[in-house]
Structure 1
Amino acid sequence: MNLNDQIFLAINNLSLLNIGILNFFCIFVALFSPYIYALGLVIVYLSNRKKQALCAFYVALIGLSINFLIGLFYYHPRPFVEGLGNLLIPHAKDSSFPSDHATLAFAISFGFWYAKEKTISIISFIFAIITGYARIFVGVHFPFDIVGSFFVAIVALTLLNAFVAYFSKVSDFLIKLQIRIFNMF
């Protein structure tokens, strides 16, 4: 048994303790974290920090695009496909590496950091770690899937930085478009 499997089982086997609040919390986070992040982006956007929210959105979009490309060329089975651990939520038998949920979470955190929203970045980074833990806890990801997501998010941020002038123009356009649409009503 390799290190990835051992760490996975150490975390996932905690679900067998049947600690109701822990199981509920991890299942909730594992299932609904993308919606929580989407809501957070909307709240930040609507609180007059539009460029900061768009920056985080772009890093997430780039990160998830990288995940898609990785998925085209590399397949790694999920733990339950290999007969490991306890599966607490239903999930497709698609590739586990890297985790889309964790990539989204880390990418948004890094995007806010880049946009100088330090407090939001720290809070979202902590939630990203919790999201990764929850995905392992419920049996749908290995720890290295989460670590891989962390690095994908770093690459996504690096790509945003390389093309920041382009993304800045897109942001300006989207904000002006949004203002015009809202002014029509």
Structure 2
Amino acid sequence: MNVNEQLFLAINNLSLLNIGILNVFCVFVTLYSPYLYAILLVVTYLLNHKNQALNAFYIALIGLFVNYTIGLFYYHPRPFVEGLGNLLIQHAENSSFPSNHATLAFAVSFGFWYSKEKLLSIASFVFALITGFTRVFVGVHFPFDIIGSFFVAIVALVLFNAFRAYFEVLSRFLIKLQVKIFKSVGLKV
């Protein structure tokens, strides 16, 4: 048994303790974290932190595109496909590396590093760590999948910074478009 499998079992076996609130919390986070991040981005945007929300969105999109590209060339079975651990949710038997949920979480948190709201940046990073932990806890990812996602999010951040000028042009266009749409339907901008 390799280190990745040993770490997986150490974390996933915590679910066998049947601590109800912990199991429910981990299942909730693992299932709904993408929606929570989407809500966070929308709320951040609407609270007039438009550029921070858009930057985080772009970094997340880049990260998920990198994940997709990796998936075209590399397959790694999920723990339950290998007969390991305790599975708390149903999941497709697609590649486990890297985790889309964790990549999204880390990428959004990196996007908030540009924010003046440091508490938001720190809180979103802590929630990204929690999201990664829950993916292992519920039995759908190995720890190295989560670590890989962290590095994919860093790559996404680097790519974003390399093309930042283009993203700034896109952001200005999208913000102007949003203002125009809101005004046309009588909403306050």
Global fold match (TM > 0.5): yes
Deviation string 1:4-53 (CA, Å, 9 cap, x unpaired) is 00000000001111000000000000000000000000010000010110
| 1:119 Cα deviation from its structure 2 partner | 1.7
**Which residue number in structure 2 is paired with residue 136 of structure 1?**
136
- 1:35 & 1:44 partners in 2: Cα distance? 14
Structure 1 residue 13 corresponds to structure 2 residue 39: no
CA distance in 2, matches of 1:10, 1:62: 32
In structure 1, give the amino acid aligned to 2:48: N
Paired residues in the alignment total: 185
State whether structure 2 residue 46 is matched by structure 1 residue 40: no
Q: Which residue is equivalent to 2:68?
A: 68
Map of 1:1-185 to 2, 5 A cutoff? 1-185=1-185
**Distance across 2 between alignment mates of 1:115 and 1:150:** 20
TM-score where L is the length of structure 1: 0.99
**Per-residue displacement from partner, 1:61-118 (whole Å, max 9, x unpaired)?**
0000000000000000000000000100000000000000000000000011034442
Q: Contact 1:56–1:108 (CA<8 Å) still a contact in 2?
A: yes
After the TM superposition, which parts of structure 1 deviate over 4 Å for at least 4 consecutive aligned residues?
none
Please say if residues 103 and 152 of structure 1, whose CA atoms lie closer than 8 Å, have aligned partners that are also in contact. Answer: yes
Following TM superposition, by how much is the alpha carbon of 1:120 offset from its aligned partner in structure 2, in angstroms? Answer: 1.1
Structure 2 SS opposite 1:87: coil
Q: Contact (CA 8 Å) 1:97, 1:148: kept in 2 or not?
A: yes
Q: Deviations over 1:127-149 (max 9, x none)?
A: 00000000000000000000000
**1:161 partner amino acid:** N
TM-score normalised to the size of structure 2?
Answer: 0.97
Amino acid at match of 1:137: F
Is there any run of 5+ residues in structure 1 with no aligned partner, and where? none
Identity %: 74
> What letter corresponds to residue 170 of structure 2 in structure 1?
V
Contact in 2 for aligned 1:56/1:111 (Cα 8 Å): yes
Contact map agreement 1:78 1:96 (CA 8 A) in 2: yes
Given residue 74 of structure 2, which amino acid in structure 1 is its aligned partner? Y
Structure 1 distance, partners of 2:114, 2:62, is 14
Give unpaired runs (5+ residues) of structure 2: none
CA distance in 1, matches of 2:99, 2:48: 31
- Whether the 8 Å contact between 2:107 and 2:157 is mirrored in structure 1 is yes
Letter in 2 for 1:119: L
